[in-house]
Chain A
Amino acid sequence: MKIYVAILLVIAAIALSLLASPLNLLSPTSGLFTLAGGGRFTNLTITMSQLTSPVTIEIDTHGMAHVYASDAGDLFRAEGYYEASQRLFQMEIFALLAAGNLSSWVGEQALQSDVAEHLIGIPQNAEMSAQYLQSHYPQVYSYLEDFSQGVNSYISSLNPRNLPLGFKLLHVKPYRWSPLYTLDIAEYMSWSLTAGFSDELQSAMLYSKYNFSMVQELNPYYPYYVDGNLTVMPGNGAVNGYSLTDQGISPSYLWSLDWYQGWATGVPSSTMKSLFYLLEQALGNISDPYVQFQDMGSNSWIVTSNYSTSGSPLLANDPHLTLTAPSIWIPIQLGGGGFNVTGWSLVGIPGVLIGHTATTAWGLTTPSGSSSNAYLERLNGSYYEFEGKWLPLTSYNYTLMGKTYTVYYTNNGPLVARSDNYGISLYWTAQKVPFLTVLAEILLDNSTNFSDLLRAAHYWVIPPQNLAIVSLHNAAIIDDGLYPLINETLPNCERVQVIGARAPLNGSSGNFEPYGYVPFNYLPAAYDPTRGFAFAPNQPTAWVNYPFPFVGGYWSSGGRAEIVYHYLASHPHATLANMEELQSNVTDYWALMFKPFLIEALTNFSTSPQELQALKQLEQWNGSTYQGQVGPTVYTYLVSELANITIYNSLSSNGLSQLDAPDLPYLVTDLIHIAQYDPNSPWVNGSFTSAVREAFVREIQYLNSTLGPNVSGWTWGKVHQLELYSPLGLTALSIGPTPQWGDSHTVAAAYFPYVVSVPLPFVTVGSSLRFVADPGDGQFYGVFPGGPSENVASYWFQNQLQAWLNFGYYPMGGNYSSVAQWRLLP
């Protein structure tokens, strides 16, 4: 061989190894394939210098970790280590998102999201809360630090070869965890569960285009068909013997008023209408394209001791959140240092957020009353007007990708939008009050009786939640948290303190400033209700005579509440099996109610065999929504087409397309109400019957072209499918799509917007976990759509998913079998 040929061959080898270097990612030992080696639970001995004594972690056959330590500090250190070992990438990307610093990992595409988090104030609020907890609740803060030490200990054990997949894909390294990131996540979750600000902007936009009666027909103060039987606190709304009537105010008068007008907001309607673009801008500025967790609803209910077979209270809870892969939850038992708590930890936050001790259990749903408000501010340069004076705007600077940004504040909160001399500011309780909810969680985790649970409830500040609690003998649901009160003077000169608003309030006058919060003893609540049960699937928490009217009550339509109410009312001597059966209910209450009106409108209309066959499917449908049924498909596309040619069309032509589904919580009940009481409403183009007929023809044509001519093949599972998204948004790392039961109004919820597409947009929101508890009997069961690990190749990535899909449960207490034991040594 000639020398130059030999040299050329070596050069070619070097060139090829360089050119093909992206293939290093597919190396068996240092590339992405290392994920095939992770995600197994094996016996381990781990050294963690921060521990004061040995800790044991046992992982059971269902993927729950049981952590046993001799003191609380070690317990939270071990929890941090374990969670990081299973979910480090998820925790870190979630914390960066919440802290408004995701662009440091993914670049410019995350800038809008980062700016939105700073405008809302999530990192600023977390900083304020960290300082407050450190100085006022050092014990609680030390738990956050212990948790961080555990996370960081795991990070220290990593090398570039065994980094979790997400870090390798983004070419980033883990950063050190701190209590601030825990609080960032907590604030982010709180904001995603907070009602008020966006709702007020949206309802004001609606009001600016339609008259009051049309707005009320579409967006009533209370959802149609709800009454005092259906509210969380049963009855007319009186609490602790106090009501609106006691203040000399007639509920029927108060709820007949136009709360969008200037007397209620301090802003003349004409001014508000002229500022439509500003409202739109405010909504856009705080919208987060990376929004991770949407709360579309949740279920919880309690059964009192005299209404259950076991003679002790029962609890059921399934919070509905965006379903991600991995899940936001991680199942864990924490034992030692005074704790013995089992349930689900929210990743990145120490402790158990939903779960039980040996003698107590608790769950959460969102009540949807306003705890944030929008204010219209008058501005002049760097000044804002308040009570006739011009005060300087304060500011907060932050840097993203080398560029400095500024958030300006009025006394109400950050200015999220500005145009000339007007601006919209965001008032949110989280800006004013530190995140004591973390203390509430620790107290819940440490509870042994009902008094302990109530003590924890006192510290629950943000976000307001329906806190369902049961002990050995007592049960309650409390619409818990801080609701800012606003003084209002009614047109008849009577004065009343209300919660929230229907449109942005005047921020300049001082008359609409929040004036304290609803006292704990006057929060809507059901303590050991005499009827034997209470329930809180996001329906109104109190009826019309509640002394602090929820003017800013943006409730769900109550379809799930109806099912729960009727089920529990007809099941005295309830058992845990009943709780599980109710959680798996897939009957759409509103569909059953709407169906007769739809069928009546279509009677003697259709002539084609295909239309007649579809109509027959609808007639024979029993309202349940299993994957193999055709009825839900025919019904859903009929409602979607009907909404399309009526309400959506009207909104769109008025520049309100951003209010389309799923932002119309009352769409179906609106249509039922219109069919029943106002069939000539302008919302259905003047004729409900004609609109339904047109929608039906369009539906059949559409389904025929997309699903084929055979109507019996139009099964629900073909169009209604579940997808669990990865935090990176990569399909390869997601789970699904898979055919799914349920719809937006079933107790076993599987949300989708009413749009005309085959398949429907994938279901991404549903029961993020299911939990049933009978502390008196020591029986606790649960399931969630995932597993403990974030490793996509691991069995533990989705080991509970099939059980969740099939409404199965795993024991969450008592004896268990271990698959691995970790010994953590100091």
Chain B
Amino acid sequence: MNLKALGAIVVSFFLSYLLVYYLGYLWTALISSIPLGYLKVRNAILLGLAQGLVPASLFLLYPIKALSQSSIILGQLAGLSSFTTLLAFPLTFAVVSALASSGYSGLYYYVRKTVS
């Protein structure tokens, strides 16, 4: 992996943190995964999925007891288990990110091929 690829990953994760923290919407995965398009498709998918760790890690902002209590309550409200309640957003974020980054990768490959 070259430096540019590494840079793309860092920028992508940085964008993810920024957008999830300040906006917190699933569609922000569409933006934060743009730099991952620089990678090969397989890597883009893997790192896109890994982007799910970003929102997951942000749960650590909260005291564990309050988080656990919240997940139980919100789970009851949503008719889900507390575990699913915690995982739903990060997992979906990961899938959106993986789909988008693989698509961006394909588009980038096409553009590069066309230009050259």
Is B one of A's binding partners? yes
Known A10-B100, A37-B62; judge A733-B26 contact (CB<8 A). no
Determine whether the beta carbon of A30 is less than 8 Å from that of B67: no
B99 contacts chain A at the CB level, 8 A cutoff:
yes
Cα–Cα distance between A20 and B104 once the two chains are bound (Å)? 21
Determine whether the beta carbon of A27 is less than 8 Å from that of B106: no
Set of chain A residues within 8 Å of B102, measured between Cβ atoms: 1, 6, 9
Determine whether the beta carbon of A39 is less than 8 Å from that of B66: yes
Determine whether the beta carbon of A16 is less than 8 Å from that of B66: no
**One of B20, B97, B100 near A29 (C-beta < 8 A):** B20
Nearest CB on B from A154, distance (A)? 21
13 A-B contacts (beta carbon < 8 Å): A1-B105, A1-B106, A3-B110, A6-B102, A7-B103, A27-B89, A28-B24, A28-B61, A28-B62, A29-B22, A30-B23, A35-B66, A37-B62
Determine whether the beta carbon of B21 is less than 8 Å from that of A29: yes
Set of chain B residues within 8 Å of A23, measured between Cβ atoms: 26, 88-89, 92
B77 contacts chain A at the CB level, 8 A cutoff:
yes
- A36-48 CB contact bits vs B (8 Å, 1 = yes)? 1101100000000
Set of chain A residues within 8 Å of B22, measured between Cβ atoms: 29
Secondary structure at the B interface, as helix, strand, loop or mixed, is helix
Determine whether the beta carbon of A13 is less than 8 Å from that of B29: yes
Determine whether the beta carbon of A36 is less than 8 Å from that of B70: yes
Cα–Cα distance between A689 and B114 once the two chains are bound (Å)? 100
B35 contacts chain A at the CB level, 8 A cutoff:
no
Known A24-B24, A28-B89, A33-B62; judge A730-B77 contact (CB<8 A). yes
B15 contacts chain A at the CB level, 8 A cutoff:
no
Determine whether the beta carbon of B63 is less than 8 Å from that of A40: yes
Set of chain A residues within 8 Å of B8, measured between Cβ atoms: none
Considering the complex, give the chain B residue whose CB is closest to the CB of A4: B106
A140 contacts chain B at the CB level, 8 A cutoff:
no
Known A26-B88, A28-B55; judge A13-B109 contact (CB<8 A). no
Cα–Cα distance between A29 and B33 once the two chains are bound (Å)? 19
Considering the complex, give the chain A residue whose CB is closest to the CB of B61: A37
Set of chain A residues within 8 Å of B95, measured between Cβ atoms: 16
Nearest CB on B from A719, distance (A)? 24
A401 contacts chain B at the CB level, 8 A cutoff:
no
B73 contacts chain A at the CB level, 8 A cutoff:
yes
Considering the complex, give the chain A residue whose CB is closest to the CB of B91: A23
B50 contacts chain A at the CB level, 8 A cutoff:
no
- A335-362 CB contact bits vs B (8 Å, 1 = yes)? 0000000000000000000000000000
Set of chain A residues within 8 Å of B85, measured between Cβ atoms: 26
Which 8 A-B pairs give the minimum distances between C-beta atoms? A6-B106, A30-B24, A9-B103, A732-B76, A10-B103, A13-B100, A1-B106, A13-B99
Nearest CB on A from B15, distance (A)? 15
Considering the complex, give the chain B residue whose CB is closest to the CB of A33: B70
A793 contacts chain B at the CB level, 8 A cutoff:
yes
- B47-79 CB contact bits vs A (8 Å, 1 = yes)? 000000001101101110111011101101110
Cα–Cα distance between A373 and B89 once the two chains are bound (Å)? 57
Considering the complex, give the chain B residue whose CB is closest to the CB of A3: B110
Determine whether the beta carbon of A24 is less than 8 Å from that of B61: no
**One of B25, B56, B76, B77 near A24 (C-beta < 8 A):** B25
Chain A residues with CB under 8 Å of chain B are: 1-3, 5-14, 16-18, 20-21, 23-24, 26-33, 35-37, 39-40, 161, 169, 730-733, 792-795
Chain B residues with CB under 8 Å of chain A are: 20-27, 29-30, 33, 41, 55-56, 58-59, 61-63, 65-67, 69-71, 73-74, 76-78, 85, 88-89, 92, 95-97, 99-100, 102-107, 109-110
Cα–Cα distance between A12 and B102 once the two chains are bound (Å)? 11
Considering the complex, give the chain A residue whose CB is closest to the CB of B56: A28
Cα–Cα distance between A30 and B58 once the two chains are bound (Å)? 11
Considering the complex, give the chain B residue whose CB is closest to the CB of A10: B103
Determine whether the beta carbon of B106 is less than 8 Å from that of A31: no
Cα–Cα distance between A794 and B109 once the two chains are bound (Å)? 51
Considering the complex, give the chain A residue whose CB is closest to the CB of B22: A29
Known A3-B107, A23-B92, A27-B25; judge A33-B59 contact (CB<8 A). yes
Known A27-B20, A29-B24, A30-B24; judge A16-B96 contact (CB<8 A). yes
Determine whether the beta carbon of B106 is less than 8 Å from that of A5: yes
Cα–Cα distance between A12 and B25 once the two chains are bound (Å)? 17
Cα–Cα distance between A35 and B63 once the two chains are bound (Å)? 11
Known A6-B103, A27-B89; judge A14-B30 contact (CB<8 A). yes
Cα–Cα distance between A18 and B96 once the two chains are bound (Å)? 10
Cα–Cα distance between A161 and B21 once the two chains are bound (Å)? 10
Cα–Cα distance between A792 and B70 once the two chains are bound (Å)? 8
Cα–Cα distance between A792 and B73 once the two chains are bound (Å)? 8
Cα–Cα distance between A6 and B108 once the two chains are bound (Å)? 9
Known A23-B26, A26-B88; judge A793-B66 contact (CB<8 A). yes
Determine whether the beta carbon of A29 is less than 8 Å from that of B58: yes
Cα–Cα distance between A2 and B29 once the two chains are bound (Å)? 23
Determine whether the beta carbon of B74 is less than 8 Å from that of A33: yes
Determine whether the beta carbon of B92 is less than 8 Å from that of A20: yes
Cα–Cα distance between A26 and B58 once the two chains are bound (Å)? 12
Set of chain B residues within 8 Å of A161, measured between Cβ atoms: 24
Determine whether the beta carbon of A37 is less than 8 Å from that of B66: yes
Considering the complex, give the chain A residue whose CB is closest to the CB of B26: A17
Nearest CB on A from B28, distance (A)? 8
Nearest CB on A from B100, distance (A)? 4
